[in-house]
Amino acid sequence: MTIIVYSSILVVQGTIIRERTRAHVKPTILTFAGSARRDSLNKQLARIAADRATARGAEAAFIDLGDYKLPIYDGDLEQARGIPANAVDLAELVDNADALFIASPEYNGAFTPLLKNTIDWVTRVDHRAFVRPIALGSATPGRMGGRNGLDVLRAMFENMGVPVIAEQFALPHATAVLKDGMLWDSAASRHLDSVVSTLIGSVVAMAA
């Protein structure tokens, strides 16, 4: 998080009448998706969330979990070969973020094995890595927008002591409205802005 301190001084006839200091907090937001698929709807959503966070004054970055391939977690593998470098790199990225926006597809009423495996490896680096404000999103071609999957993801994070923000973004019929990296539904777009603003606000509130 970058904190910029502004000072303003009102001087009248050589006397300081009023001195004001205010801190402007620039939160760092990391976004990623629980899908590595090339044309993933959720990767599009996570990218858009990063853009929206940047537009709201945050330092935001999207990462593709496809660039951080990891084997399925296995305790014997960890003992034999240690924690993979990609898990260590991901843990550092998460640690450097004040808050996360995670967009996960729904697979059979839950979130994806890619996301679970990533979380499991990262917590082997730092078991409290995800304990920071997190906003959840989901995009599916169906009419529920992945809400059931988000319920499961939320429950898991809450069991881990993660402050997941109450507002979340579940986008139904996503193949029709997520195209060319844009969200072509104005109500959904406003809702996403609101979720991102709340996430940023939660970081700013913690810094105050």
Kindly tell me which of 26 and 147 has the beta carbon lying closer to ligand FMN.
147
User: Is residue 35 near ligand FMN by the rule CB under 6 A?
Assistant: yes
Residue 47 Cα distances to 61, 140, 178, 186, angstroms: 8, 16, 11, 17
- Residue 201 binds ligand FMN, judged by CB under 6 A: no
If one asks whether residue 105 binds ligand FMN (CB under 6 A), the answer comes out as yes
Q: Note every long-range contact of 58-61, with CB atoms under 8 Å and residues 24 or more positions apart, other chains counting.
A: 58/26, 58/27, 58/28, 58/29, 58/200, 59/2, 59/26, 59/27, 59/28, 59/29, 60/28, 60/29, 60/30, 60/31, 61/29, 61/30, 61/31
Q: Binders of ligand FMN: how many residues, by CB under 6 A? A: 16
- 7 is a site residue for ligand FMN (CB under 6 A): no
Q: Is position 31 an interface residue for ligand FMN (rule: CB under 6 A)? A: no
42 binds ligand FMN (CB under 6 A): yes
Residue from 146, 150, 199, 204 touching ligand FMN (CB under 6 A): that is 146
Token digits for 79?
Answer: 């003992």
Question: Does residue 141 interact with ligand FMN by CB under 6 A?
Answer: yes
Smallest gap from residue 41 Cβ to ligand FMN (A) = 4
Kindly provide the b/e burial profile for residues 103-131, where b requires at least 16 CB atoms within 10 angstroms of the residue's own CB.
Answer: bbbbbeebbbebbbbbbebbbbbeeebbe
Q: Is 142 in the site for ligand FMN (CB under 6 A)?
A: yes
Q: Which residue has the tokens 């084997």?
A: 71
The nearest distance, CB 155 to ligand FMN, in angstroms, is 16
| By the rule CB under 6 A, 190 interacts with ligand FMN | no
Q: Is there a contact between 78 and 100 (Cβ–Cβ < 8 Å)?
A: no
Q: Does 108 bind ligand FMN (CB under 6 A)?
A: yes
Residues that bind ligand FMN (CB under 6 A): 33, 35, 37, 40-42, 105-109, 140-142, 144, 146
